[in-house]
Amino acid sequence: MSIGEVGERLRRSTVVVTNGAKIGSPRGRKEGAGSGIVWDASGLIVTNAHVVDSPDLTIQFRDGRTTRAVLDRRDLGRDLAILRVESGRLEPARRGESRLIRVGELVIAVGNPLGFIGALSTGVVYGFGPADIGSHEFIQTTARLAPGNSGGPLADAEGNVIGVNAAIASGGLGLAVPANAVRRLLVEGPPAELGVTLRPVRIPGPGGGIGLLVLSTAVGGPADYASLRVGDLLTGVNGKRLTGADDLRESLDRTRGAFLTIQFMRGGEGKGREVTVRLRQDSAA
């Protein structure tokens, strides 16, 4: 099968995801548009979490049909989101095994960059592992990506989807979340969320180090129930000192719904405090 034939089959399973604007409007084309993958015929759509930053979601299929979408769950750490639609005549993508791909293999990316629906680019697998945007593993490729490719499929030479295109790393490498991470999200559900907005800062005083400053807390969220406040400085998780936001994210990924003990500092106090947070799973948080 030629690359053109593989690309056409991928296009039939690739959608436009628009949030906060109507499909076809000038604003919709310029703002809030990304890509998505028809994951199964029941109406499950996979995309990136950063694509769905609004509850006002619209899906446009290859044949021009549009429908509303509902956010089912998302994983902010992995940058994945699962949407659901009620629509017939869906052609799901053929799913591949991301653990079997090797450096140097041909890959094909399809998406909707810069308003060009169904654009195709090719490249090779450059490597695997964390990139400069986080600690999670990405498939790193030379396939050219642009704004609007986010959430679209990365496939092998036979058209099997092995990843979800997510970002562009320094140096121009394309980054894709492995397809196996989608399966994990579907089976295990979203990881626990603390319900806070954080910013890494230097810890004052002897010893220094890095802490996470609480900028806001979600009302009714786990941090709010545990009485963490804006201005608190998180310094450790389960007795292990934090070195950055990724440490907290990895602890939340491993915990998945249990309890987490947070070490923190409050105000100008020199001594540390500790609180046990009861985490909860929230498919839309």
Domain range annotation of the chain: 3-84, 98-188, 196-278
Q: Alpha-carbon dihedral of residues 221, 224, 229, 233, nearest 10 degrees?
A: -60
196-278 maps to CATH 3.90.230.10: no
Burial track 17-48 (b if 16+ CB lie within 10 A, e otherwise): bbbbbeeeeeebbeebbbbbbbbeeebbbbbb
Helical H segments across the chain, by residue range = 3-12, 26-30, 179-188, 222-225, 245-255
pLDDT at 254: 73
Q: Which tokens in the block code for residue 100?
A: 């079997």
pLDDT at 285: 35
Where do we find the tokens 């600690």? Answer: 135
CA distance linking residue 77 with residue 249, whole number of Å:
7
pLDDT at 166: 95
211 by Cβ neighbours in 10 Å (0-12 / 13-18 / 19+) ranks as buried
pLDDT at 23: 47
Q: Which fold has domain 98-188?
A: Thrombin, subunit H (2.40.10)
Could you read off the pLDDT tens digit of each residue along the chain, which spans 285 residues? Answer: 899 999 999 999 999 999 865 444 443 344 458 999 999 999 999 999 999 987 889 999 999 999 999 999 888 878 999 999 998 889 999 999 998 999 999 999 999 998 899 999 999 999 998 766 556 789 999 999 999 999 999 999 999 999 999 999 888 899 999 999 999 899 877 777 788 888 888 887 666 788 899 998 888 888 888 899 999 999 999 889 988 777 887 788 776 557 889 999 888 766 789 888 887 544 433
The residues carrying an active-site annotation are: 50, 79, 150
pLDDT at 24: 47
Matching fold, domains 3-84 and 196-278: no
3-84: CATH number: 2.40.10.10
